[in-house]
Structure 1
């Protein structure tokens, strides 16, 4: 049997501003589909998500879908009132994503009150464009022979809730998120490409001075009977000077407002990232408590552990409301041994590696590696790399029963760096430039935040270092498998 595969053709044309037409075709392989649509079972249960087994990716059968996004804000441009109203009526009539089986519509999918893909809820939480029901028109096509596991409920109101139905739903949701990702990417690239406006006060002051000199010269040669014309020019000059002064004040106010907005945006990102980090820590603590629950311990300790587990569950739920760091505030650099810090961190994860059955390979440097950096930032980079690897190693283990997960970490010097690799599925060429982008993620939707690797790169750069994928280290499938973390920018004198 051929492994399941998803092909997405994303075409962007006039998403609200002038830009070149963008067409991209990406093939999402089986391992990425497993990570994005299924995810580790334990994680899905904790998030109260319906359990989906990997086999459903095959048993769901082939299906097609086509989605169109219409920006209603720009639809009126260049159209008469009648044309705009007709278009709006057409969009109102066809809005939403409908489901067809062998050409016949399956209800209630795509009706006025139906939001089976949870587009409106997702749009409220999304970063950037709101791809909600009223702006999306599309259809999903299935067949009785091609998709025998997608069965109607007995009352004919929609499909039965099966693993295959969940895969169908989550596949289309994933496609909508990828469309939003690409729209946000194009918007960011276009904005970055624009030349910044620079307010030059010397230009307006020079213009005022030249006008004043010109009017003075005109006054000398203009006959007395035409002096009112000169006076009118003088009034115009004064009016210009006043407007220029007001414009400068307004620019200053706007710059102040922009600074405040940037500060508020920074605070918002801080809450989001801190929540992300705390959520991961809370989930790790819950894993430990759940593993202890299955072991033989005295009754009193068991009761205390159960109480602690209930508290951690409550905290985890509250954090998930916020989840979805800031680059840590002012922290001082300190000189420390990189090898010792790495060993301390890995010892703290020993129980977790044991639970996930991960074999750890550590390749130390020939001699101790001393660095001067913000220790907390180094810890953040490594914690996020560990968390990312464990997720995809879990995914690969679910796919392949004989799979033996391994994590290999080496420390090098000149310049001080840590190379971090695993034997998981790796990162394909089409995503290698995107994995560090803010909010880009290929994990299942319960954990799809797109913050971990973004935080890791920001934290690495805070110390003057860098985090990247090693272009020369690939696995048997030709995918990138190694993160190269240069801890600091310059070599240290010994």
Structure 2
């Protein structure tokens, strides 16, 4: 029988539970973190994670104890047993009201499925009966039963675990007795929850537990600087209890590494929802080396990410900078150990309402792209492994920053992109100050690039500069000779420093040489392909004409396609023209040319960017005739104008954006000279970096490479015996650069 408007209902199979547990929780470390977050949401002050041997796959168990408010029988049935319950959406704060809850999607309970084959949950709320749930996750994968057809064992009994003198009291007292200054001297054990995960899904060894401790150590941030006015963190401690034997030394309260308290550089401050920043940059002293009061959003078209607070800690990784940290109580034996501690605590963590959002802050999670920026500019930029950052936001003030469903990371929203852009703007200020301090004769040098094979970084020519074999022989034959060991360590550090300096020099010159070679290849191969595209487009034009008599619609479609492709061909041709001045090929023969015409042709290369940002470019002054290579003028003008366009793009919306290019014949003593001046009405060059902007690889742009002004200056100096400088005051209110040509200007 036919039926209209009938209703059907989705009915999940039981195996959905197993799928969710494995897919939504990426690994065991994250799963345990989810259980700790559940305890936090329950207003617990202490969480105990106990590992019971044998910690092998299919054996052993993990217990997670907390002294939170626990659950009543009604809560277990009506809330915990509901998948994706809206309870947290309706109650965004913990029962005490003092914590912004971390769970929101009702799926954190699947963490137990990721850790063990069975889970036993015992919980009690004050003045309520004790409830025990027993779940065998295998029951949900066997057969084709539907989810509501698989029973879960649930019992309600007189309290025996969470009661005065009960199992919970004994368990917590054993932990607290081990430490004279424990985080909590007394723990109320008449309520709480314990999750027992048995028949482990994976083995737990030293590496896994160390990784867990590192992850948990950054779950709550270290004490923030007083000037941030970050709300006090709720009393919340985490203890890991490992079995007797080789894992026993991992037992103890989780705490931040002492290394974090002693950075070489530090950036501290706040940014409001409009992007107005108040930041202080420190370099080991109590007084800041720079105070930044600026807008970091500039003319961003993205919605605001909301207000945030920043605490960034940065280290130089060369031996001379690391040695002072050996005096700290960090358990480090040498400079390599200190570097390892810094690497283990590196990364930029994101804290929402005082609790870390996973996986922000994990050493390998480079969500701000530090390492990619450093590849483009190794002299100026920081790497992810030398930064420990703490970014503070809140759910109420930053509603556009939302968690992904799998509980790791944030949804790729415009607000998230704006968050990253604002932070990088702030970091660029720190990098500039660090660059300035390091270029001074007394400042420490850059990180050594030499490393032993164990670190996986020694390679090529410098691989042989390695004293590891000598160190190994000395350790075997003279294990107690401290003087010999120290001498080898000092020799290694000396070689590291020397090799690093040689590598830096080679890298600087090889980059410039490689740049020209690379451009040659791109131009040759690209223009060859462009020529073939042109031939294809001409053929397409002929086909379009022939098809028109048989199929008008097809002919129109082909015609539109040809028009689109032709536009792209022209765009590529303009791009090649723009990068051609950077080519390493033999320069053309100088010829007499009109400066205004050459400048106009160079400006045309940037037409799309100029139009995009609404910039008005004018060419004025005397149209001087000079003898020059056209590519030189193009290189000079393209670099200066593209810089001006970028900084004008950061100006507030609606502000007039102007660039004036003036040419003039002048006299310098008895010499005739020609000046080309490019001025804009942008923000200008900050006073504190005026002496840095012409240095190779220095850039004040967050993602700048730092080659533009250096290349332009080299062209002016090498071929025209001239110079490129910053003019103050300029014709317009922003930055003004003048190139003075002294040769071939007749």
TM-score range, shorter chain: 0.5 to 0.7
State the partner residue of 2:705: 449
Select which of 276, 287, 290 maps to 1:5: 276
Structure number with greater CO (CA < 8 Å, separation at least 6) is 1
- The 10-residue stretch of structure 1 (258-267 or 100-109) with the greater mean CA deviation from structure 2: 258-267
Q: 1:329 to 1:88 in 2, by over 3 A?
A: same
Q: Who is 1:466 aligned against?
A: 723
Q: What is the 5 A alignment of 1:178-327?
A: 178-190=429-441, 264-271=510-517, 300-308=558-566, 325=582
Partner of 2:676: 418
1:277-311: per-residue Cα shift (whole Å, max 9, x none)? 99xx9xxxxxxxxxxxxxxx975553234335667
**CA displacement at 1:471 relative to structure 2:** 0.8
Pairing partner for 1:135 from 369, 386, 390: 386
1:396-431 Cα distance to aligned partner (Å, 9 max, x none): 3xx32x334333222211131122223333333234
User: Residues 14-42 of structure 1, C-alpha deviation per residue, up to 9 Å, x if partnerless?
Assistant: xxxxxx99963152633x6437xx5xxxx
Kindly state the Cα deviation for residue 10 of structure 1 after the two structures are TM-superposed.
3.6
Structure 1 residues 21, 423: closer, same or farther in 2, change over 3 A?
A: same
Whole-angstrom distance in 2 between the partners of 1:346 and 1:113: 42
Matched residues in 2 for 1:340 and 1:442: separation? 31
Cα gap change, 1:403 to 1:411, in 2 (>3 Å)? same
| Largest Rg, 1 or 2 | 2
From 298, 302, 305, the equivalent of 1:34 is 298
Gap change, CA 1:332 and 1:91, over 3 Å in 2? same
Q: Is the 8 A contact 2:281 2:288 kept in 1?
A: yes
User: Are the counterparts in 1 of residues 325 and 338 from structure 2 also a CA contact under 8 Å?
Assistant: no
For residue 250 of structure 2, what is the aligned residue in structure 1?
none
What's the offset of the Cα at 1:456?
Answer: 1.9
Aligned residues: 376
1:386 counterpart = 2:635: no
Question: Which of 396, 403, 406 is 2:655 aligned to?
Answer: 403
Seen in structure 2, the aligned counterparts of structure 1 residues 330 and 359 have a Cα distance that, compared at 3 Å, is: closer
Question: Larger helix proportion, structure 1 or 2?
Answer: 1
Is 1:117 the counterpart of 2:368? The answer is yes
TM-score by length of 1: 0.60
Comparing 339-348 with 423-432, greater Cα deviation is found at 339-348
1:248 aligned residue: none
User: Gapped runs of 5+ residues in structure 1?
Assistant: 14-19, 39-52, 195-255, 282-296
Three-state SS of the structure 1 residue aligned to 2:729 is coil
Structure 2 contact 358–409 (Cα < 8 Å) conserved: yes
- Report if aligned partners of 2:401, 2:416 keep a CA contact under 8 Å in 1: yes
Change (3 A) 1:406 1:123: closer
Q: Pick from 688, 695, 702: which aligns with 1:430?
A: 688
1:126-165 paired onto structure 2 within 5 Å: 126-128=377-379, 131-165=382-416
Q: 1:484 — aligned with what?
A: 738
SS in structure 1 of the partner of residue 679 of structure 2: strand
Is the contact between residue 422 and residue 482 of structure 1 (CA under 8 Å) also seen in structure 2?
yes
CA contact (8 A) 1:60 1:165 kept: no
The equivalent residue for 1:61 is: 307
By how many angstroms is 1:65 displaced? 2.1
Asked if 1:84 is matched to 2:333, the reply is yes
Kindly indicate whether residue 589 of structure 2 is the aligned counterpart of residue 336 of structure 1: no
Q: RMSD in angstroms over aligned alpha carbons?
A: 4.9
Structure-1 residue corresponding to 2:620: 363
In 1, distance between residues paired with 2:607 and 2:372? 39
Residues 179 and 350 of structure 1: CA distance in aligned 2, closer, same or farther (over 3 Å): closer
Show CA shifts across 1:311-348 (max 9, x none).
789999999xx99x367755544443324433454567
Distance 1:95 1:301, change over 3 A: same
TM-score, normalisation: structure 2: 0.42
- Cα distance, 1:484 vs. partner? 1.9
Task: Give a deviation string over 1:42-95, Cα, whole Å, max 9, x none.
Answer: xxxxxxxxxxx3441xx5213222223252755468959964267567546533
Q: Single out whichever of 259-268 and 402-411 deviates more from structure 2.
A: 259-268
User: CA offsets per residue over residues 432-487 of structure 1, 9 Å max, x none?
Assistant: 33333333334464xx3332222222222221222222111276xxx63322222x
* 1:198 equivalent in structure 2: none
Instruction: Sort the Cα spacing of 1:330 and 1:120 in 2 relative to 1 into closer, same or farther, 3 A.
Output: closer
Does the 8 Å contact 2:379/2:697 carry over to 1? no
SS in structure 2 of the partner of residue 29 of structure 1 = strand
